[in-house]
Structure 1
Amino acid sequence: MLHSFSIPRDLAAISPLSQSVTALMVPAFDQDARDAVDLALVEALSNAVQHGTKDSAKSIGLEVVLTETEITLDIIDSTPPMPLFLLEDLDPDALEVDPDDLENLPETGRGLALIVMMMDEVAFHHIDDQTRLRLTRRR
């Protein structure tokens, strides 16, 4: 079943949308899968807001296709595409943390690695004036 959403370019709009998507997953997905999708979705939407166009009139779309076996999230934006190497060249150590040096923990740079780790498939497409980040998670 297809569900379509649209949010303004505002970080405050992400949490309510993510909660709506998580609620859709309740009958078919366990808590671990819901948490993984929530984390990936929040990170992807945050990236779209923070790194996308500065034109606040352009909203961010989300298409959710939910089946008994998987959920697919298409984040649709009208900003220029990100370089594909960002997905291809993810540093496997991007999520490593030195527990003895938490004061110098970087605040950015781990979002895409988290998204890829939480989802079964991550694909990026740019068609005409739309950029789509497709996230898929299977049960």
Structure 2
Amino acid sequence: MIRYTLKCDHNHSFDSWFQSTDAFDKLKAGGMIACTVCGSTMVDKELMAPAIRPTRSATATDTPLSSPQSPAEAALATLRAHVEANSDYVGMNFAAEARAMHEGAQPERSIYGEARIDEARALLEEGIQVAPLPFMSARKTN
């Protein structure tokens, strides 16, 4: 995973995580990266410094991620809390779950999860409305 600081054509700055540099390039080329403030898809990477891990003795209050630093980050935290409280996390089964609900095989409900780019594109081509969320799932990867 790689985190980029991004900036839109309206000069809004925000951070986002990507699986790889290639994943960022494919999402950008497909118009699937949008500014978290204004929604513009004219987004580019900004120059950024590498992130350094805190020492093992550091506490959560020592890290800058312990609370939102800007109104945009606070809005994202609120959005994330709302999505997690009102939707079912379906993980990597997102595409199958969304398709089953669209076809009437399962009752409709709010879901969120993960899908590969080709899966998301196929859902959109089938008329199933999906959108990327501006945050990563809270699942543990290690």
Using structure 1 for the length normalisation, give the TM-score. Answer: 0.27
The higher radius of gyration belongs to 2
Query: Could you say which structure has the greater relative contact order, defined with CA pairs below 8 angstroms and 6 or more residues apart?
Result: 1
Instruction: Considering fraction of residues, name the structure with more strand.
Output: 1
Using structure 2 for the length normalisation, give the TM-score. Answer: 0.26
